[in-house]
Amino acid sequence: MWWTAWALAAEPARFVVTSDTVADGQRMPDRTVYAGGTCSGGNRSPALQWSHPPTGTQSLVVWGHDPDAPRPGGWTHWVLFDLPPTVAGLPEGVGAEARPAGGRSGTTDFGEARYGGPCPPPGPAHRYVFTVYAVDLPALPVPDGATWPVVEAALQGHIRGSATVMGMWGR
């Protein structure tokens, strides 16, 4: 029917996140694994690309999280916020000093304001979920180095949309 084609064409594009480093649901490369403690990876953040953020997006937030960590709330591996809405991704190995202009780094559960890769205890592989949030504020009212709970509280009522990609890693 002609109306079916019109309805499909009018549907907005979906906000998506992809990665050249993390194949969705697959093992993350060792170069992304934490370098410290009992792990000896390269501690390089994964490349992330996103497209079609919702209308009204004024900034973006990236959260890397291990929901399988053996502690309440999981483990935060990466927090970036106040990324400009014109940014469509991050290269692999982006550090605190190489993030997009205007973007700020939050503090992970490693106590560092930079990416900290997978380093789960021995056992089943853990999931590493990388979520990009589209936010209707140009900047979050939080200090530099804010932890995820502080960033998450500031996001309440301001999320226009989100998209994720998930990798696995275990030993």
For residue 35, pLDDT over 60 is answered with: yes
For residue 1, pLDDT over 50 is answered with: no
When computed from its CA atoms, the radius of gyration of the chain, rounded to whole angstroms, is 17
Under a CB-based contact definition with an 8 Å cutoff, are residues 155 and 135 in contact?
A: yes
3-class SS at 128?
strand
**Segment (H or E) for 7:** helix 2-10
CA distance 82 to 18: 20
14-169 homologous superfamily:
PEBP-like (3.90.280.10)
For residue 9, pLDDT over 80 is answered with: no
Task: Identify the band that residue 13 occupies on the pLDDT scale cut at 50, 70 and 90.
Answer: confident
CA distance 66 to 80: 16
Specify the amino acid at residue 48. Answer: L
Under a CB-based contact definition with an 8 Å cutoff, are residues 129 and 64 in contact?
A: yes
Give ∠ CA 53-69-20 in degrees, rounded to 5.
40
- Quick: pLDDT tens for 129-144: 999 999 999 999 999 9
149: which 2 tokens? Answer: 């709970």
12 burial (CB, 10 Å; 0-12 / 13-18 / 19+) is: exposed
Q: Of all residues in the chain, what percent carry a pLDDT higher than 90?
A: 85
pTM: 0.91
Task: Identify the band that residue 10 occupies on the pLDDT scale cut at 50, 70 and 90.
Answer: low
For residue 152, pLDDT over 80 is answered with: yes
